Structure 1
Amino acid sequence: MIVTTDIGGSDPDDIQSLVHLMVMLNDVDLEGIISQHAWVPYGTGADGIINDVIDAYEDVLPNLIVHDKRYPNASSIRQMVKTGQPHAAMACVGEGKDSEGSEWIIKAVDKKDARPLWIAAWSGMNTLAQALWKVSHTRSPKDVDKFVSKLRVYDILGQDDAGAWIAKNYPKLIYIRNKSVYGWPKNDEWYRKHVQEVGPLGKVYASRRWATEGDSPSFLYCINNGLNSPEHIDYGGWGGRFSRIRKENIESMDWVKKNNLDEMQYAPYLMYGASEEGGRAINIWTDDIHNDFMARMAWTVTNNYSDANHHPVAVIGNDKSRRIITVSAKAGKEICLNAENSFDPDGNPLSFVWQFYKEPSSYKGNLLLESPNTERMRILIPEEARGKTIHIILKVSDNALPNLCSYRRIVINVKG
C-alpha cells in the first residue's frame, strides 16, 4: 500500500488516520507515504508532521514488537516519505512534471511482486495521474496494461479532477471511490481516553475538527483479518462494501466545483461506488474496529506480552490461516462447519457467532443456522439457493478487555 495524504491541511483527520495506520503496520505492507495536496498551497509542513508521527512510532516500537515482531523499523518508514506534485489537480500533470512521489509510485509498481499495489487516496490524485502519464508516454501499450493491472485505488470522497481523468483514461484500473466514509467512529471522549491519553503515539493523535478518521476506511479495507477480501469489492468488510457494477460519473466533493475544477470534462468515467447499504457497510463492524484499535494502542505502552490482550485465532477444521474458505454444497442437503480448534493466545475463554452475511450473497432468502453460538454449526441449504452463493461469517471473540475478535469467511457455492 501507498498512502497519498493532504496532511497539514485545515482538517487534522489525516493525522488521526496516520496514527491508526502506524499501529496496524504488522498487517499492512506499507510502501510509501506521499504528501499530495488537492489544493496547493493548502497544507503546511506536511513532511514534518508525518515524521513527528513516525518519531512517536519509533518511541513505542520496542513495545509493539513484543506483541508482534512484524512491525517494521522506523527508519524504513522514513525512507518512504515522499513529496508529490507541487501544484494542484490536472494542471500539474504532463511533460516535465514528474515528482518524487510519482517516481516512487512507478518504482513500487515495477517491483517483482505479484501482489497488487493499493493506493489509499486521502487527498487529490494527481501524483498517481503523473505516474500513469509518464508510463503511458514511455512504454508500449502492452507494458502500460501490465503496469495498470497491478494498481488498485481506494479514493476517499474524490478531492480533485485527477481521479476522473484516471478513470476515463485507464478503464481497466480497479478504482473505488467511497463517499460513505463517515458515521462509523466513536465520540471524542472515546478517542481521548483510549487513544490520546495512551503514550507517545496517542499524544500526536489530533483532536477532531470536523469528522474523525475520514480516511481510515481506505486501509481498513485491506487488512487481512479473515473477513476482508480486497480483490472482491462486493464482499464487504471493515472498509465498506462496493457494487460490482461500476457507476458513471461519481462526483468528487463539492469543493472541487467550488475551486473551478471541471471533472465532468472527462465524462463518462466509471468507478466502483458504495453498495446500497452505504455507510452501514462499515458501521456494522465499528465496535470490532475500535476494540482492535484500543488493544493496539495498549500494546504501545505494554512491554510484557502477558499484560495485554491479543486476538484469538479462528480455525476452521485444521485451517489456521485467514484465507477465505470456499466450499460446495448441494441444495436441500445439510453441511456442518467446525471451529472447535480455535484458540486464544492468552488462554481466555472464547465465544462463537456464526452469521449469514446476506448482502454479498447471491442467495437473498432466509437461512436457518442451527446452533449459531457454538463451535460447530449446521446449515440446511435451501432448495431455492440452487446455483447461488451463501456467505457465512464466523466471529470468534475472547472475554478480555478490550474484547477482541477474529473472523473467518466461508463462501458456499450451492450446486443442483
Structure 2
Amino acid sequence: MKALFTLFFLSVFLVISACKDTAAVQTEDSINSTSIKPRIITTTDLGADPDDEQSLVRELVSANEFDIEGLIVATGCWKKTQSNTTILDKILNAYSLAYPNLKVHSNAYPSPEYLRSISSIGQRGYGMADVGTGKDSPGSNLIIAAADKNDARPIWIMGWGGMNTVAQAIWKVKETRNATQLKDFLSKLRLYDVLGQDDAGAWIAKNYPEVFYIRATSVYGWQPTDEYLAASIQNKGPLGAVYPNRKYATEGDTPSFMHVFPNGLNNPEQVEQGGWGGRFNTTKTAGIRSMSEVKKIQEDAETQYDPYMMHGNTAEGAEAIKRWAIGYNNDFTARMLWSVTSDYTKANHHPIAVLNGDATKQVLEMTASPGAVIELNTSGSKDPDNNKLNYSWVYYKEPSSYSGVVSIQNSTSTLAKIEIPKDAAGQTLHFVLEVYDNGTPSLYAYRRMIVKVQAAK
C-alpha cells in the first residue's frame, strides 16, 4: 500500500511539474490562443528556383502560427516534372534538428513527424495536361481530405508553382459528388496563387468563379537584402544552413502565407485591408496573366479561358508589403534565433497588443458620428519578457474610403484621441496600432480599428 501511495504522489508531482514546464514556454502561445489559426496547405515547385526553399524555411520557423495541413511538391512552368520530395525532406530534416529549441519558445510548433505525415507529391506533370481521369495524386487527395474535415475554418492553399494539383482535387470532386457537395467543397477553398505558373489557375477561375482566388503579381520589391540574410538567417543553425543564396529574387512565394499571418494586422478574407502579404482589389479582374513562360509553352494557355476573374494587387504593388518591413524582418530574425536558443529567457518574444479592452487579434469595428472624438486605448498591452513597450497609431489611408487628412492626438501613447472629420460622413477610416518592444530584435504586434462614420442625416 505504501508503494501505491508513493507512486500516486510521484505521479501527481510529475503532472504538476509538467504543467509548470508547459506554462514556462506557453507565453508565446498565449498570444495565439486569442486568435483563430489559419489552416494552410503549401504547394511548391521545389527545385525550380531556390526561392521556394527560402520561403519554406521562413514558413517552418513560423509554423506555430498556422495549422499546416499539407506540404505538396508540385510542378510549374519552370519545373514541368516532379518525381520525388528529396528537397522537401532535406528541409524537414533541418527542421527536426531545430525543433527542440523552437518548442521551448512555443509548444505550438508541429512535430517533425507530423509535418512528414502531411508531406506528399502532387501532380508529376505540367498544367491541365496532368488533370483528369487517372491523374489523382497523393497531393490532390490530401487537399480533398483536408476540405472534408469537420472544421469550419477555410483552407488557404498557396500556389508557389502551378495550380494543377488543386485543379485535380476540384476535378475529382466534380466527377464523384453531387452539386451540393461540390459547392460545399469549393466554399472551403481560399487560393493564393503566386504569379501564375501554369494554365490550371485560369481553368479554375473560369469554370468555378465562386472560388476565392488571389493571383499576386507584385511579389518582388519587399525582400530583405543579401547582407541581412547572411548576417541574420543563413548562419543560424540547421535551418539557416538550408536557406540557399538567391538565384534570381529572394522569397518570391513568402507573401502567400504572410497574407494570413495572424498578427492582428488584417483579416485575410478582406483582401483590401492590407498586411504582410500585400493588398488586393475587392473586385475581381479579368485576364491577370501567368508568367510569360506559360504562354511560351502554349500560346493560348490562358486566353482560351477568357474571361476568367481573380483578385489582383492594388496599385501600391509591393509597397503594400514593404511598409511593414521592420516588423516582418525582425520577426524572421527572432524566430531564427529561437531555432538555436534553448533557453526561453535568452531570446525576445512578441508583445501582446490590447485594443479598447480586446486582447484577441481580430480586426475591430466601431461607429462614430462626423465631428465626434473617439478614443483608442491600448491599456493592458504587455510583453512576455517584461520589455518596455512603445506605441504608434497611424491612419492607414489606402484601404480607407476617406481621402482627407485625419489627425491623431497622442499618437505614441497608450491613449490616442481622434476627431472624426466633419466631411467623412458615410466613409470608413482604418487605424492601425503598432506595439513594439525594446528587445533584440524589437518585435511587433498589431491591431486595427475600422471606424464606420455615420451618414449625414
**Fold-level similarity (TM above 0.5):** yes
Is the alpha carbon distance of 1:46 and 1:329 closer, same or farther for their aligned partners in structure 2, counting shifts above 3 Å? farther
Cα distance, 1:318 vs structure 2: 2.4
Q: 1:92 to 1:44 in 2, by over 3 A?
A: closer
Quote the Cα distance in structure 2 between the aligned partners of 1:80 and 1:34: 8
Answer whether contact 1:6 1:43 (CA < 8 A) is retained. Answer: no
- Aligned twin of 1:73: 111
Map of 1:176 onto structure 2 = 214
Question: Quick one: distance in 2 between partners of 1:290 and 1:39?
Answer: 30
User: Residues of 2 paired with 1:384 and 1:236: CA distance?
Assistant: 25
Deviation at 1:46? 4.9
Matched, 1:134 2:136: no
Alignment partner of 1:150 out of 174, 179, 188? 188
Contact 2:81 2:126 in 1 (8 A): no
> Contact 1:118–1:153 at 8 Å: present in 2 too?
yes
The answer as to whether partners of 2:368 and 2:420 remain within 8 angstroms in 1 is: yes
| Separation in structure 2 between the aligned mates of residue 49 and residue 30 of structure 1, nearest angstrom | 18
Q: Kindly, what percent of the aligned residue pairs are identical?
A: 48
Residue 223 in structure 1 maps to residue 265 in structure 2: no
Give 3-state SS (helix, strand or coil) of 1:384's partner.
coil
Equivalent of residue 318 in structure 2, options 263, 279, 286:
279
The alignment partner of 2:390 has SS state of: strand
Within the alignment, does 1:21 sit opposite 2:63 as a pair?
no
Do residues 290 (structure 1) and 332 (structure 2) align? no
Q: 1: CA distance between counterparts of 2:219 and 2:267?
A: 18
Looking at structure 2, the residues matched to 66 and 327 of structure 1 have their Cα atoms a distance apart, in angstroms, of 38
Structure 1 counterpart of 2:375 = 336
In the alignment, is the contact (CA less than 8 A) between 1:198 and 1:297 conserved in 2? yes
1:312 aligned partner: 351
* Aligned residue runs from structure 1 range 196-215, under 5 A: 196-215=234-253
Q: How far apart in 1 are the matches of 2:318 and 2:47? A: 26
- Most deviating of 55-64 and 264-273: 55-64
> Aligned equivalents of 2:170 and 2:328: distance in 1?
34
Aligned counterparts of 2:269 and 2:82: Cα–Cα separation in 1: 35
Question: 1:49 pairs with 87, 92, 103, which one?
Answer: 87
2:196 paired with 1:164: no
Question: Number of aligned pairs?
Answer: 415
SS in 2 for 1:340: coil
Deviations 1:115-135 (A, max 9, x none): 000111000011111111111
- The answer for the alignment partner of 2:139 in structure 1 is 101
Aligned residue for 2:290?
252
Task: Give the aligned partner of residue 387 of structure 2.
Answer: 348
**What is the CA distance between 1:228 and its match in structure 2?**
2.4
Residue 42 of structure 1, CA deviation = 4.4
- With structure 1 as the length reference, what TM-score do the two structures score? 0.98
Residue 388 in 1 paired to residue 423 in 2? no
Matches within 5 A, 1:110-129: 110-129=148-167
User: What is the alpha-carbon distance in structure 2 between the residues aligned to residue 91 and residue 134 of structure 1?
Assistant: 15
> TM-score scaled to structure 2, two decimals?
0.89
User: What pairs up with 1:259-270 in 2 under 5 angstroms?
Assistant: 259-260=297-298, 262-270=301-309
In the TM superposition, what is the alpha-carbon distance from 1:293 to its structure 2 partner? Answer: 0.1
The residue aligned with 1:236 is: 274
**DSSP-derived class of the 2:67 partner:** coil
Could you say which structure has the larger radius of gyration? 2
1:37-70 per-position Cα deviation (integer Å, ceiling 9, x unaligned) = 1148646675111111111111111111111111
Letter in structure 1 aligned against 2:390: S
What CA deviation, in whole Å up to 9, does each residue of 1:109-167 have, x standing for no partner? 11110000011100001111111111111111121111111100000000010000000
Distance 1:382 1:59, change over 3 A: same
Of 72-81 and 337-346, deviating more is 337-346
Corresponding residue number in structure 2 for 1:376: 415
Alpha-carbon shift at residue 76 of structure 1 (Å): 0.4
SS at match of 1:148: helix
SS at 1:321's partner residue? coil
Which position in structure 2 is the counterpart of 1:189? 227
Whole-angstrom CA distance in 2 between matches of 1:342 and 1:231: 26
Amino acid at match of 1:177: R
How far 1:260 sits from its partner (Å)?
1.9
Match of 2:444 in 1: 405
Residue type of the alignment partner of 1:335: I
Retained in 2: the 8 A contact 1:40–1:86? Answer: no
Residue by residue, what CA displacement relative to the aligned partner does 1:390-413 show, whole Å, maximum 9, x if unpaired? 110000011121111100011111
Q: Which amino acid aligns with 1:72?
A: P
Q: Contact conserved, 2:80 with 2:125, CA < 8 A, in 1?
A: no
1:327 — aligned with what?
Answer: 366
Q: Is the contact made by 2:367 and 2:451 (CA closer than 8 Å) also made in structure 1? A: yes
In 2, the alpha carbon distance for the partners of 1:41 and 1:102 equals: 18
1:42, 1:380 → 2: CA distance? 56
CA deviations 1:289-334 (Å, max 9, x no partner) are 1100000000001111110011111111322111111111111110
CA contact (8 A) 1:36 1:84 kept: yes
SS across alignment from 1:364: coil
CA RMSD of aligned residues (A): 1.2
- Structure 2: which 5+ residue stretches go unaligned? 1-39
Bigger mean CA offset, 316-325 vs 191-200: 316-325
| Letter matched to residue 225 of structure 1 | N
